[in-house]
Structure 1
Amino acid sequence: MSRGIRMALVMNLLSLLFSGVLVHSGQSTVPLKSFKIGENVTYDCIDIYMQSGLDHPLLKYHTIEMKPSVSRTELKSQIGINKVQKQKIPCPDGTIPVWRNTKEFTTNTQVLAKNHVHFLSPDSPGTHLAGVRSQNGPYRGVEAWFKMFKLDIAKDQASYGQIYIGSGSNTEVNFISAGWMINPSFFGDGRTWTYGFWKGKDGKGCYNTACSGFVQVSQTVPIVQPIDFPAGKSLWLHYSIHQDKNTGNWWLTELGSGEPNVDIGYWPKEIFNLLDNGANMVGAGGVVQASSSGSSPEMGNGQFPNVDHPRDSGIFTNVEVMDSNYVQHKMNYFPTEVVLDSPKCYGLTIGKIFKFRPHPLGYYFNYGGPGGNSCGV
């Protein structure tokens, strides 16, 4: 693969973070139960076989996979300090929790799809990134611990922390990402939410369960959920995106820390055409979307990385990648490169393992920064 094609692939993959096609899917069945967990946040317990995720035309003959054929294992190097404790939705057996899409949410998703175009387009607000990636797969998955933060983000800005996988060419891309985001124009509030995103065949894609495609399997933990932070504290999230060896589906798993893993759900192989044999690229890092005025928001926790105090900034730890044979390695086992397009506003430093004995952080990096009005396009 030539350098020009690789760079085009990278740009296409990164642009997908904000260019997904968002289509509202109405409630497909009457919920058995509903739970309100906060202001404007209601989850309906829907029959797992009647969920709107299965309404995708490519899933007409799809059979639900209830769990991965091989369960993920928890990393031995535990760092579970203030690990996020999601509020579990006590749905009855045979049902799954689905965030209720309000009229306001539907409008917000349409606005997001219309306004968030290719981030290099001259008439779009700036998208900036700070992270690491490995190319020239195939790879079967990526996994990391990463800190979640509560930030003050303007209504027309966004700030993400995410892991991702993808494959593509100059004209076509398949992509999956998951993590946390603050995106008021999408959610209608400034809270931190967990999320998942995909883009597949024919350029179609979606966030969370806003439209068909993602198959929710967990009875208690939805793919999208607001996070409540203890006063003055950050929280850790431990996610894995991995391809099932037997079915080819792409699972999202939240790995436990002293508790069972949660296989949240999966993106079926049928909605992709470039991920059958793994992904060409895997990565992790932070992303921000500037406002229309050109002001870029905070990334990570809003602080530049400090090599002497790595826990004081945004951080991804124990970043691991699954090779073509489904064997997991530290990310730097593979050729790894840094993505940092606005060093004036954001930074990134690769960590040194020995500093944290006897509890090493594996392959880790710090990222983030304050943003501002001069971060570039």
Structure 2
Amino acid sequence: MKFSSQIMSFILHFIFLVTFICPIYSLETSNHQVNQTLRFEKGSQKLNKTIKTLLQQINKPAIKTIQSPDGDIIDCVLFHKQPAFDLPVLKGQISLDSQENSEGHDQINNSTLNFQPWHLSGEFCPNGTIPIRRTKEEEIQFGRKSIPFHERLYEVVTYVQGAGYHGAKGTINVWSPRVENNEESSSSKIWVQSLTAKESIEAGWQVCPKRFGDSRPRIFTYWTVDAYKGTGCYNLQCPGFVQTSRKVVPGTVVAPVSVIGGDQYDFNLKFEQDQKNQRWWLEYGAGNENYERVGYWPFSLFKELNHEANLIQFGGEVVDLNPTGDHTSTYMGSGQFAQELAFKAAYIKSMKVAINPYSYIDLLDNENIEATPDCYSIVGGFNKNYESYIFFGGPGRNPKCP
């Protein structure tokens, strides 16, 4: 085979580059890569150290450890050692709160216990301790609810606004919605808020695989005092919410779940402001107004909520992280639209608010919001069986919701 002089010259030039120039470039590149690797390793070591420090702050030393049948680890932590009392303003309240953590608040029927599968282990935390679900390393970055710019938040709610509210309650049915992306979430909940101060306390159930490590609905609490920008967290993942119950554990699985066209399962939630100490108590239960005090958000967390709330919301929420720009196919509730009604759509019933302390009335002049009704919808009303109610939910992405 014959080569032209131009082709041969090119080949010889290429060999020269490979033989003499590339080793120099490779050496420089190699040094650059080594420096990058060292910086990355130092950054990773610093991050790992930060995560371990946070885990030590959250996962307090346990008096007893319980292995839940569903895979959770429950640590029995001395009441006054829980994360909330890392706040200096709460340290002086420990003795008072210990009295409120007495056996009197542990009287609850078995129907509520059935909603907390960790009880199936047959073990309970001893007096003077509270059960806390152990936080895993991979859950640390999902402790807050801050919404990056690329996320879309969809909510369908009914709300009352304006008056001074001192309580809210409702009965929420439980589903196990499909979540498209592990970092997305689907929730059914109640919000108690102060709009002007941008303060909010929330509770209900949520599915978020990245946050909890699976796709099962879990009871949760949340708080913020700056509209989710830099304060607050879920459950006990930062100092704030004070847990008093030895039987109901925020972050644990809620079971069983409702079935479309079949059995429906729900639980009661109540937010009630203590007029003596201006704390917001969270109570949880199942069946016929049976409640267990889970814990409270202390007076010192807030500027306005420690006096009263001016906005109460009931409904569902989906966080959309679909990178393609299409709407997520994450379900809200059962994945059925609100118009499907009983036995198919998600509901919150027996919705009430307290305008006067400890005195609850049905929702009056409430309004519904559904920003994307072709994706998620809501309907509401009042009847004898459900009292004040809403049905809500939807499948997310569909032909009418691309």
TM-score where L is the length of structure 2? 0.74
Q: CA deviation at 1:83?
A: 9.9
- Aligned partners of 1:230, 1:102: CA distance in 2, in Å? 25
User: Which structure would you say has the larger Rg?
Assistant: 2
1:136 alignment partner, SS class: strand
2:388 alignment partner, SS class: coil
Structural mapping, 1:156-305, within 5 Å: 156-169=183-196, 172-200=197-225, 204-229=231-256, 232=259, 233-257=263-287, 260-293=290-323, 294=325, 295-296=327-328, 297-305=330-338
- Aligned partners of 1:249, 1:198: CA distance in 2, in Å? 13
Structural mapping, 1:98-137, within 5 Å: 98-109=132-143, 116-117=147-148, 123-137=149-163
Cα 1:371/1:250, change in 2 over 3 Å: same
- Aligned partners of 2:400, 2:318: CA distance in 1, in Å? 11
Partner of 1:95: 129
What amino acid is the match of 1:127? Answer: L
- Aligned partners of 1:343, 1:129: CA distance in 2, in Å? 10
1:36 and 2:67 aligned: yes
- Aligned partners of 2:242, 2:268: CA distance in 1, in Å? 20
Range with greater deviation from structure 2 (174-183 or 272-281): 272-281
- Aligned partners of 2:145, 2:204: CA distance in 1, in Å? 19
Cα 1:260/1:350, change in 2 over 3 Å: closer
- Aligned partners of 2:56, 2:87: CA distance in 1, in Å? 10
Q: CA deviation at 1:341?
A: 0.8
Partner of 1:52: 83
Q: CA deviation at 1:108?
A: 4.0
Partner of 1:4: none
Say which of 139, 144, 169 aligns to 1:143: 169
What amino acid is the match of 1:194? Answer: I
What amino acid is the match of 2:163? Answer: G
| TM-superposition CA deviations, 1:163-211 (whole Å, max 9, x none) | 1101032xx4110000000111211221111100011379521110111
Whether the 8 Å CA contact 2:183–2:211 is kept in 1: the answer is: no
What amino acid is the match of 1:160? Answer: S
What stretches of structure 1 of length at least 5 have no aligned partner? 1-22, 73-80, 118-122, 355-359
| TM-superposition CA deviations, 1:215-243 (whole Å, max 9, x none) | 11011211221123369454202100111
Whether the 8 Å CA contact 2:194–2:311 is kept in 1: the answer is: yes
Whether the 8 Å CA contact 2:155–2:316 is kept in 1: the answer is: yes
Which structure ranks higher in relative contact order (CA pairs < 8 Å, sequence separation ≥ 6)? 1
1:224 alignment partner, SS class: coil
- Aligned partners of 2:155, 2:271: CA distance in 1, in Å? 20
- Aligned partners of 1:300, 1:258: CA distance in 2, in Å? 23
Partner of 1:19: none
1:280 alignment partner, SS class: strand
| TM-superposition CA deviations, 1:302-347 (whole Å, max 9, x none) | 001236x423211110000011443210012xx3111111111111
Q: CA deviation at 1:54?
A: 1.2
1:61 alignment partner, SS class: helix
Greater helix percent: which structure?
2
1:367 and 2:392 aligned: yes
- Aligned partners of 2:374, 2:288: CA distance in 1, in Å? 40
1:344 and 2:370 aligned: no
- Aligned partners of 2:66, 2:73: CA distance in 1, in Å? 6
What amino acid is the match of 1:303? Answer: Q
1:211 alignment partner, SS class: coil
Cα 1:158/1:273, change in 2 over 3 Å: same
1:315 and 2:347 aligned: yes
- Aligned partners of 1:190, 1:336: CA distance in 2, in Å? 32
Whether the 8 Å CA contact 2:374–2:401 is kept in 1: the answer is: no
Matched pairs, number? 329
| TM-superposition CA deviations, 1:257-295 (whole Å, max 9, x none) | 268521011111111111122101111100011123243
- Aligned partners of 1:41, 1:305: CA distance in 2, in Å? 33
Cα 1:337/1:231, change in 2 over 3 Å: closer
- Aligned partners of 1:54, 1:374: CA distance in 2, in Å? 51
- Aligned partners of 2:335, 2:113: CA distance in 1, in Å? 20
Whether the 8 Å CA contact 1:168–1:274 is kept in 2: the answer is: no
| TM-superposition CA deviations, 1:17-41 (whole Å, max 9, x none) | xxxxxx7562574211111114541
Partner of 2:363: 331
- Aligned partners of 2:339, 2:288: CA distance in 1, in Å? 30
Identity %: 24
What stretches of structure 2 of length at least 5 have no aligned partner? 1-53, 106-110
Whether the 8 Å CA contact 1:137–1:278 is kept in 2: the answer is: no
What amino acid is the match of 2:126? Answer: P
